Structure 1
Amino acid sequence: MRVLVTGHDGYIGSVLVPILREAGHEVVGLDTGLFADCILGPAPEEVKTLRVDLRDVEPEHVTGFDAVIHLAALSNDPLGNLDPDLTYDINHRSTLRLARAAKAAGVERFLFSSSCSLYGKGEDDTPLDETAGFNPVTPYGESKILSEQGLLELADDDFSPVFLRNSTAYGFSPRLRGDLAVNDFAAHALLTGQVVLLSDGMAWRPLIHIEDISAAFLAFLEVDRERMHAKAYNIGRTSENYLIRDVASLVAEAVPGSVPTFAEGAGADLRNYRVTCDLIEREIPEFQPKWNVKLGVEQLVENYQRYGLTIEQFKSQTHQRIKRIQALMDAGKLDDKLRWTNA
């Protein structure tokens, strides 16, 4: 297939694109390049790229593609809280703009990178399936709900969206995100000897390696449209739900000499949910996740050591998304709407 991947210069896209190409698909990226220079280790092989802001997408940009994989978004809660309306503009309204353009251009399938964060504040420890109610606690989670609802309205015989509700990501990428729990724990364990919890660690969270997220996108790209049409799937494995403090203990066990500690003022995290991934296991058996947290931590530590990562680098704008955005704004390269100024 000929596939457009938005956000291909990001954390997941940098792992997904080579996997798609290895499977024989032709990939074109669409990305404004906010994080293109945020590299640890060798840079990914470049692909043809449209340097277009999601807010400016037109049907001409998506003409000639068999599928769109839509990753691009303000991708975590601190970024989302920077300006909530920007989150809704980029994550929600621009998602629907892209989808309408794709539909008008005759693109048949639209794979949307949603998130289990839309479940938000769980009422108890019961694992949630795809029919569970939404209880988001952040603009990011709310934007995913609104996007799914809008995409569902566009679905018809010629346009098939599917909603991949990803568990919380971790794992090594050439464009590493340090603001994800497992990646952060592993770096601090290795480089400081302390696995620092910013909360009390009693919240549940489903976790998934980015290579398994990529494998899910590949599976949905290739299955019959009728199997995935206008449906939502929790992406991960039911066995990979963890209390955050148990993740910290796993990391400490994997990195000799490190110990879990709590940051000053660490309190409860409102985001607290477990999910069941039985639906994707049952309906999309082509998706076979291979990673667990222990293996992912080992991979992270190996690559941190291989590429000489320091704690100063890890905490810098190169690997912390909110710091990167703020640095670009402070330098006058981005305006307050996160558009390039050409300064």
Structure 2
Amino acid sequence: MRVLVTGSQGYIGSILTTRLREAECDVVGLDTGWFNDCLFQPSQDGFVLRKQDMRDVTLEDLAGFDAILHLAALSNDPLGNLDPELTLRLNHEGTLRLAKFAKQAGVRRFIVSSSCSIYGKAGDALIDETAQLNPVTPYGMSKALIDRDVSQLADDSFTPVFLRHATAYGASPRLRLDLVLNDLVASAFLTGKILMLSDGTPWRPLVHIEDISQAFIAALKAPLEAVHNEAFNIGSTSENYRISELADIIRQTIPNATIEYAPGAGPDLRCYRVDFSKAELKLPGFEPQWTVTRGVEQLLAAYQARPLTADDMNGHSYRRLARLQQLRVQGLIDEDLRWTEPVTAEAHQDSPSGELMI
């Protein structure tokens, strides 16, 4: 099966491309390269990479693919808040354009990396895929619009699937420290303090990036009738936590770590508890393996092995908003987050199609 992975050099994409090749898929990556050199660990390469902004993809670029696994996006709330209009334009309009081209090109399956953040301010009740969408950030709104509009393209020849994953965590070659668990563990490791930026009361479901990757593979290989135009919450119902509970788990794992609340820490509008039973029952082959406790242990081991430094914690490489702001200040990308110099120059040396084997 020939699959295109957009955002292949991102936090999840760096894991997913490896797992797809282990599943004997013919993988082609597509990535604009914003985070290409933001490596925390060595990456396992060995697939064709197209250095390309998804907004520039043409109909011809998508010929010959059986499926597209779509991860490329402005990928969290702080980044989405940088320019809400651009976030909606890139995430929503960019995805809808890509999906329409995919359908015209004969791509049969289009699997979207969505998010439980589309539930937004949902309170303490356990909610499933039928719940009202109530996003409270531009990022969450963009994901809700994608689910709504791409689903309307579904027909007998085109199958969209929407994977609404919980808040991600876990070690990756392209680490992110702007995710709650990754950040709290890093703070505890470096300073001995688990620094809480909210009052700790909001609910948040969490899922390891390995489980997200397995969900993509399950959606890719599932019988058509099991996934056609379906949304699945991706995670485990038992892995819903209050933020304060995450801090307690970290404190139990890292000796002498203490919990501290930032001055003025208050409630977070984003509060949702999610039911994940649909995916566990109806997405063949998907069975989450990770827990937050195991994830904290993995992250701690990764931070010790590297080792993680204060410069890593405070720098640009592992925080998406800081990285793009850095590229803007350096004049490497413009206000629309496009490279000011061609990004495919190196690729063109090897291939007229702009493809590199990495």
Distance 1:48 1:129 in 2: 37
The list of structure 1 runs, each at least 4 consecutive aligned residues, that deviate by more than 4 angstroms after superposition, is none
Decide whether the 8 Å contact of 1:205 with 1:243 is kept in 2. yes
Alignment: residue pair count: 342
2:114 aligns to what SS in structure 1? strand
Distance 1:139 1:315 in 2: 25
Root-mean-square deviation over aligned CA pairs: 0.9
Confirm whether residue 207 of structure 1 aligns to residue 206 of structure 2: yes
Deviation at 1:46, TM superposition (A): 4.5
1:223-274 per-position Cα deviation (integer Å, ceiling 9, x unaligned): 1111100010100000000000100110111111101111122111000000
Deviation at 1:311, TM superposition (A): 2.2
1:133-183 per-position Cα deviation (integer Å, ceiling 9, x unaligned): 011100000001111111111000000001000000000001000000000
Partner of 1:154: 153
Decide whether the 8 Å contact of 2:222 with 2:284 is kept in 1. no
Confirm whether residue 336 of structure 1 aligns to residue 355 of structure 2: no
Q: TM-score under structure 2 normalisation?
A: 0.94
Distance 1:119 1:78 in 2: 17
Partner of 2:86: 86
Identity within the alignment, %: 54
1:119-141 per-position Cα deviation (integer Å, ceiling 9, x unaligned): 0001x311100000011100000
Distance 1:43 1:316 in 2: 20
Partner of 1:172: 171
Distance 1:165 1:142 in 2: 13
Distance 1:141 1:74 in 2: 11
Distance 2:44 2:254 in 1: 28
Distance 2:310 2:237 in 1: 33
Distance 2:160 2:275 in 1: 21
Partner of 2:52: 52
Decide whether the 8 Å contact of 1:27 with 1:48 is kept in 2. yes
Task: Write the letter of the residue equivalent to 1:172.
Answer: A
2:232 aligns to what SS in structure 1? strand
Deviation at 1:315, TM superposition (A): 2.0
Partner of 1:10: 10
Distance 1:208 1:271 in 2: 17
Distance 1:232 1:251 in 2: 32
Task: Write the letter of the residue equivalent to 2:145.
Answer: L
Distance 1:281 1:34 in 2: 34
Decide whether the 8 Å contact of 2:6 with 2:72 is kept in 1. yes
Decide whether the 8 Å contact of 1:192 with 1:311 is kept in 2. no
Greater mean deviation of Cα atoms: 232-241 or 44-53: 44-53
Partner of 1:262: 261
Partner of 2:350: none
Partner of 2:36: 36
Confirm whether residue 277 of structure 1 aligns to residue 276 of structure 2: yes
Confirm whether residue 248 of structure 1 aligns to residue 254 of structure 2: no
Distance 1:244 1:107 in 2: 40
Distance 1:113 1:99 in 2: 13
Partner of 1:70: 70
1:205-233 per-position Cα deviation (integer Å, ceiling 9, x unaligned): 00000000000001011011111000101
Deviation at 1:32, TM superposition (A): 0.3
Decide whether the 8 Å contact of 1:57 with 1:97 is kept in 2. no
Confirm whether residue 320 of structure 1 aligns to residue 319 of structure 2: yes
Decide whether the 8 Å contact of 1:165 with 1:233 is kept in 2. yes
Greater mean deviation of Cα atoms: 306-315 or 293-302: 306-315
Partner of 1:231: 230
Distance 1:43 1:280 in 2: 29
Q: TM-score under structure 1 normalisation?
A: 0.98
Unaligned runs of 5+ in 2: 343-358
What are the residue-to-residue correspondences of 1:107-118 with 2, within 5 Å? Answer: 107-118=107-118
Distance 1:35 1:46 in 2: 18
Distance 1:245 1:20 in 2: 35
